[in-house]
Amino acid sequence: MKTSHLTDRRTFLISMAAVGGAAALSPALASAASETNGKKRNIKLGFDNFSIRAFNWKAPQLLEYAASLKLDILFLSDLDVYESLEEKYLQGIKQTADKLGVEIHAGTGSICPSSKSFNKKHGSAEEHLKLAIRVAKTVGSPVARCLIGSGEDRKGDGGIYKHIENTITVCKAVRNYALDANVKIAIENHAGDMQAWELAELIQAAGKEYVGATMDPGNACWTMEDPMVNLEILGPYAATTGIRDSQIWESEKGASVMWTNMGDGLVDWNAYVERFMKLCPGVPFILEVITGTWVRNVDYLAESYWTAFPKARAGEFARFLAMAKRGKPYQPKPGRPAGEKSPDLEKQQQKWDLEQSLKYCKEALGVGLK
């Protein structure tokens, strides 16, 4: 493995302090902490590298950062995070992770050949998925995260259901390869592509012995789902996670959704974690923090909106409506880096958002083993 990117630990930590300091206690954190009374929950904690994407760090730097934060897991959710996909390099990444005491979860993007998100960079869909499984096995990951695409795939003839069928076909084509590698294909409900029940049906049809879910409560809100509804349906299939909070509020055409730091949105995380422990034993709590970046308009008052959701379930939609009625537009919390938009500010904000959210999980929710 290349050593040029293996950062000296002291130098690394000094440089991180320069980018942004530790997050301060927020009122939300203090309130949640009082509910748990210091209770420690036996759940591994980590983050997805997409949370600090502005740094463009590769796997070695990310592992050092995860270790400096005393985390249990690092989610390397794309293949570009590796400097090489050769076995020798990947084995070196695993050795580094083992030395630092950080478990790796690995993943890639779309493995659906009919999705607008699919990229032929890694060959056919089957070749791409096999590559993701091989990488996962080599770096010691029990999962290979992948996805169909985005909400754009709900539009057009056949809607999301033709893409679900195509993804099932791809998964079945590599079934034996995944089982032999002892790596579970973990399909994410991603960017508005599938509601929880749709992903659950995909997993059942493909085979839950080798296919599971990357459960993302933030993405659930983009498909008109209450994160607790998403948890109830996908929890039994969850193999890994991508966790973030969400703020939802009513708008002229329906509702708007914006992702927030943990504790700054509408989710009752103490209730969520209690249910998570029952439905998802052994599954880690991995944060994918994407705060204040996108507003998703859920224009359910427009008749045309429903053409993409022909099988939406009324009871679940009602739970989402209830969230929108009690929410309000997102406002950044005091202490978040601010100023003129720049690459440096983006780095500062992403790091602050992630560290505040990790602090919330550790101190308010009792999540994390270290």
Domain map (residue ranges) of the chain: 39-363
Six-digit token pair at 68?
């400096």
Say how far apart CA 75 and CA 17 lie, in whole Å: 22
- Helical segments of the chain, H only: 9-19, 27-36, 59-68, 87-100, 125-139, 159-173, 175-181, 196-206, 217-221, 227-234, 269-279, 314-326, 343-363
Whether the model clears a pTM of 0.85, i.e. scores above it, the answer is: yes
- Residue 12 predicted with pLDDT over 60: no
Question: Nearest 5 degrees, angle CA 113-CA 258-CA 160?
Answer: 25
Residues in the chain: 370
- Residue 17 predicted with pLDDT over 90: no
Residue 9: per-residue pLDDT:
37
**pLDDT tens sequence across 292-320:** 888 999 999 999 999 999 999 999 999 99
Among residues 200, 209, 206, 190, the alpha carbon closest in space to that of 235 is found at 200
How far CA 52 is from CA of 288, 315, 322, in Å, comes to 9, 36, 32
Six-digit token pair at 58?
């590769």
Residues with Cβ within 8 Å of 110's Cβ and at least 6 positions away in sequence, in order, are: 117, 118, 119, 146, 147, 148, 149
The CATH code that applies to domain 39-363 is 3.20.20.150
Residue 333: per-residue pLDDT:
83
- Residue 25 predicted with pLDDT over 50: no
Residue 349's pLDDT band, with cuts at 50, 70 and 90, is very high
Residue 6: per-residue pLDDT:
37
- Residue 22 predicted with pLDDT over 70: no
Q: Which residue has the tokens 């780095």?
A: 347
End-to-end alpha-carbon separation of the chain, Å? 27
Residue 303: how many other CB atoms lie within 10 Å: 8
**pLDDT tens sequence across 198-218:** 999 999 999 999 999 999 999
- Residue 283 predicted with pLDDT over 50: yes
Q: Which amino acid is at 267?
A: V
Residue 293: per-residue pLDDT:
80
Residue 144's pLDDT band, with cuts at 50, 70 and 90, is very high
How far CA 207 is from CA of 140, 179, 195, 280, in Å, comes to 22, 11, 19, 18
Q: What is the DSSP letter of 156?
A: S
Residue 31: per-residue pLDDT:
52
Residue 2: per-residue pLDDT:
38
Residue 289: per-residue pLDDT:
97
Residue 32: per-residue pLDDT:
53
Measured N-to-C along each axis, helices 227-234 and 314-326 cross at an angle, to the nearest 10 degrees, of 140
Q: How far is CA 276 from the centre of its chain?
A: 15
Least confident window among 153-157, 251-255, 328-332:
328-332
